[in-house]
Amino acid sequence: MNKLPVVAQFESENDFLSRQLNQDRPARLAVRMVLNLAQVHLAEKLAEAAAAVSETMQVAFKRHIANMADASQARATQLLYAEINRVPPAQQAELVKEGRDAPIVSEATLRQRRIAPEVQAALVEHCGGHTSTLQALAARPDVTLDTLAALAGSKDKRTRLNVAASLGGHMRLDEPGLASKKAAIFSALMVGYESDFAPHLVPVCQSSDQLREMFDKTSKALGVVETFVENPYTPDSVLVDIASSPTMHLVQHDAAKRAKGLLQARADLRESSSYSDDMAPS
């Protein structure tokens, strides 16, 4: 009997793909895929960093050219001597607006002994990229609450720190009509609160909830814990944390001891008040 020729059988495309997908991939292939993915992310990060550096350099160059311009030099000179020449605040604000690209203009404005509120508003509105100018503006003794309110949400930490320091001084003043405005600035600073704000904000804070929040976000460095202990509005929960902390007893013994004493004094006062209420005639 003659044998029939053997005909080669090939699996279909679908069967081949299914079999390949069901097989375990070698570990080296997975590692290669992860490495390739990491390289892609690294390249993207490098490209983003290069673009950021390029943009920063372009902005710096633009400002340098603006500083060299005759018009910018003239505006800076006018603003430098604006107080002596009695240049109206509205005209000064216009000069700031016209010279917004030249840091030399905003820096000249800061050299005045007193900056009018309208000029401060112009600096905030038109010179947002002049970081050093806004830092110095926030720290000035004549800075207005409106200016502090505008700078409280700054992305620059030093600017916000200077706002906190200036606000601390304002809050020590008895100004009932400005209490709500001060409270709004305080709340804005709490959104981006930094531990360095504590020496300025803790002593003037009258909210137990905000003091609790600040304590949780504040570094327990020497000198900082005392500000919480000395504030009569500090809640018992914060004093308990200070008084019961072994670290506090070891490193800041006086603060921990005083916190414990205040807790006892408050407990005695509450007990005394409760006793007085019980003894009152009905």
pLDDT value at residue 11: 63
Alpha-carbon gap, residue 255 to 227, rounded angstroms: 9
Cα dihedral 120, 123, 129, 131 sign:
negative
pLDDT value at residue 182: 96
Alpha-carbon gap, residue 160 to 181, rounded angstroms: 17
Percent of the chain with pLDDT over 90: 62
Taking residues 120-137, report their average pLDDT. Answer: 96
162-210 pLDDT, tens per residue? 999 999 999 999 888 999 999 999 999 999 999 999 999 999 999 999 9
pLDDT value at residue 48: 74
Taking residues 134-156, report their average pLDDT. Answer: 97
Q: How confident is the model at residue 36 (pLDDT cuts 50, 70, 90)?
A: low
How many whole angstroms from its chain centre is CA 42?
A: 28
Do 201 and 186 contact (CB within 8 A), yes or no? yes
Do 242 and 230 contact (CB within 8 A), yes or no? no
Q: What's this model's pTM, rounded to 2 decimal places?
A: 0.72
Residue 50's identity, in one-letter code, is: A
Alpha-carbon gap, residue 205 to 207, rounded angstroms: 6
Percent of the chain with pLDDT over 70: 74
225-280 pLDDT, tens per residue? 999 999 999 999 999 999 999 989 888 999 999 999 999 999 999 888 775 655 55
Residue 219's identity, in one-letter code, is: S
Q: Is the pLDDT of residue 65 over 50?
A: no
Do 202 and 231 contact (CB within 8 A), yes or no? yes
For residues 84 and 43, the model is more confident at 84
11-33 pLDDT, tens per residue? 666 666 566 656 655 555 555 55
Mean pLDDT of the chain: 84
79-89 pLDDT, tens per residue? 999 999 999 99
Q: Which of 184, 187, 138 is nearest to 158 (CA)?
A: 138
Burial of 56 by CB count in 10 Å (0-12 exposed, 13-18 middle, 19+ buried)?
A: exposed
